[in-house]
Amino acid sequence: MNRATRDAGVVLPFVALSMIALLTVVAIVIDLGATRSFRRDTRLAADAGATAGALGVKDTTGTGVPCITAMAYAFRDVGGTQPSSAAIASACGSMTATCSGTSARTATMTVDSTTITVTNPVPDGSPLMDGTSLGSGVTQGVNATVDGVPCDRVGVQITRPQPSFFRGIMSSSPGTYTVHSVARYSPNAQPGSIPPALVALNQTACKAIDAGSNGNIVLVSNSVGPGIAYSDSNGPGCSGSNAILASRSSARLVAESSGAVVGELGWFSAPDANGYNSASTTNQVAPATFGSTSQNYVGRLFARDQRVTRAKVDDRYHCKNVPVTVQTLCTTTDPILALQALAAGSTASAPSGYATYSGACDTTAAAIVFPTGNLWVNCPTFTVKGNSLRIPGGSTVIFNGALSVESNGTLLVNTTGSTDGSGYPVPTDGSKQSTVLVNSTSSSAVSISSNASSLLMAQTMLYNGGGFTLSSSQSIHWTPPTTGDLKGLLYWSESTQPFSIQGGPQIKAKGVVFHGNGQLIGGGGGTIDLTKVQMWVDTMATGGSTTVRLAADPENSITLTGAGSALIR
């Protein structure tokens, strides 16, 4: 037998062994990568649960809000089969009392193979106060200034099966991994990204948000969370049917929940007897929507630690109006201040850089197209009736009087009148933003009346010196500027005149409306749909059997700075 014959077949075992080693390394790399990816996603779910739960640690309703909220958010973000709100409430049954002391309370729930444990309080010596790294805990000292006291803390721990594409072949038990997060309640933390649909700024009013005796105010849940309405009133003389949040007889004030996360109806500081009519029916648990419940109040009813104030919306659009006790005087552009100066300087003549309009003050004889650019229109009332008024994109137009859109009149700004699949106006030029100023201070400075009238304004902001009146069943299609200092802002007025919407207009609008010194009135029966409009007003009231639906647009709204939560582990 020669050497070649003796060596035959020797290479094959070596190749096989090398392949096994190579595949083992590949399997380890894939499993480790999957572990890191799944672990990261699970940690994000724990973060969401802890921060949401910590927002509720000051709740005194005895319903276990911190635990229920933490559990609901954690299960929502971790994905998979979602537990019912009743199951979550049952799991949190031992944590309904207000937190006191330093002994940890826990609630645990397992769905499929995922186990979530909520802890409150979180003692200083708890393992939850250690940091986490892949596979082990990391000792992290407690800082009282940063970490707060145990009752301010909510911990969320999640245990899940270890992802394994290959290791299960070699082991019958794939194992598990555990991550945790801890957040603390903080009076000065950001409360998250869920903007309120309605903020009523009056600080002492009774019936600051008033559904009347048979109206409906519905704060609609959306993709980012539950419905929310806040009043800044502490209502020192309010109670019963004259409470800060008023809903009586067959009226309804509903903050819809988002899954197991309860909607919010809040006022400032005052006890419950001032805050809402305790003689009316309430429902403060989830799930709850306008269609699935029947109580006078739906949503968590509670007193906030701080007023909202107008500081946050001012900070975005009118920063020089923010008190220096809140922040130092801004040095950036203040677009509202510039518009106020423009309005004040245009009551007698056209300001510098503005052409003077010399045509008819109404469209009854023929349609009118304004020239492109800056224009001053010196009419006591400019009436859009019988035909259309078209304002080109990129223009700033000052009406030195009132603006009225009446029967068969169509107001077009930066659009020819077409709408997209969602009902929003299609801009003639998507790169241009437009501004309309109305100098009148009357109650009907801007008036849109008659079923046959319509308004289509694309990427347009309206600054109004007086009241706003919308009546009957007009068609309204309106979007705010998409760039620049006025991005997201539909409307601004400092007037004490009402912002009144009557009847059942067909509204397709999105953005921020600020009418902070006047009342928002919804009346005339029918449904008023403002489910993409964030309203900042002095007070709000509905009349008759009107239903007003409100929800802030997540992409065009103001989130709040105030009492909230912050991650600490």
Burial track 112-139 (b if 16+ CB lie within 10 A, e otherwise)? eebebbbbbbbbeebebbbebeeeeeee
* Residue 303: Cβ-neighbour burial (10 angstroms; 0-12, 13-18, 19+): middle
Q: How many CB atoms lie within 10 A of CB 338?
A: 14
Given a cut of 60, whether residue 170 has pLDDT beyond it is: no
Confidence of residue 516 (pLDDT cuts 50, 70, 90): very high
The pLDDT value recorded for residue 345 is: 96
Confidence of residue 429 (pLDDT cuts 50, 70, 90): very high
Confidence of residue 5 (pLDDT cuts 50, 70, 90): low
163 token code pair: 């992802």
Q: Structure pTM?
A: 0.71
Q: How many CB atoms lie within 10 A of CB 369?
A: 12
Least confident of 161-165, 320-324, 540-544: 161-165
The pLDDT value recorded for residue 189 is: 39
The whole-number average pLDDT for the span 427-449 is 96
Given a cut of 60, whether residue 279 has pLDDT beyond it is: yes
pLDDT digit string (tens) for 344-369?
A: 999 999 999 999 999 999 999 999 99
CA-based nearest residue to 116, from 52, 42, 63: 42
Angle ∠(539,543,545) on CA atoms, nearest 5? 135
CA distance 505 to 503: 6
Least confident of 138-152, 348-362, 397-411: 138-152
Q: Check: CB of residue 236 under 8 Å from CB of residue 568.
A: no
Q: Check: CB of residue 292 under 8 Å from CB of residue 257.
A: no
Please tell me what DSSP assigns to residue 183: E
Least confident of 145-159, 163-177, 480-494, 546-560: 163-177
**The one-letter amino acid at 415:** T
The pLDDT value recorded for residue 135 is: 46
pLDDT digit string (tens) for 20-66?
A: 666 565 555 555 555 556 777 888 889 888 988 887 776 656 678 88
Per cent of the chain over pLDDT 70 is: 86
Per cent of the chain over pLDDT 90 is: 61
Q: How many CB atoms lie within 10 A of CB 333?
A: 12
The pLDDT value recorded for residue 106 is: 93
Given a cut of 60, whether residue 533 has pLDDT beyond it is: yes
CA distance 266 to 245: 8
CA distance 401 to 377: 8
pLDDT digit string (tens) for 228-258?
A: 999 999 999 999 999 999 999 999 999 999 8
Least confident of 49-58, 104-113, 265-274: 49-58
Q: Please, which residues have CB within 8 angstroms of residue 177's CB and are 6 or more apart in sequence?
A: 35, 38, 39, 42, 135, 159, 160, 162
Given a cut of 70, whether residue 541 has pLDDT beyond it is: yes
Tell which wins on pLDDT, 24 or 223. Answer: 223
The pLDDT value recorded for residue 225 is: 86
The pLDDT value recorded for residue 562 is: 47
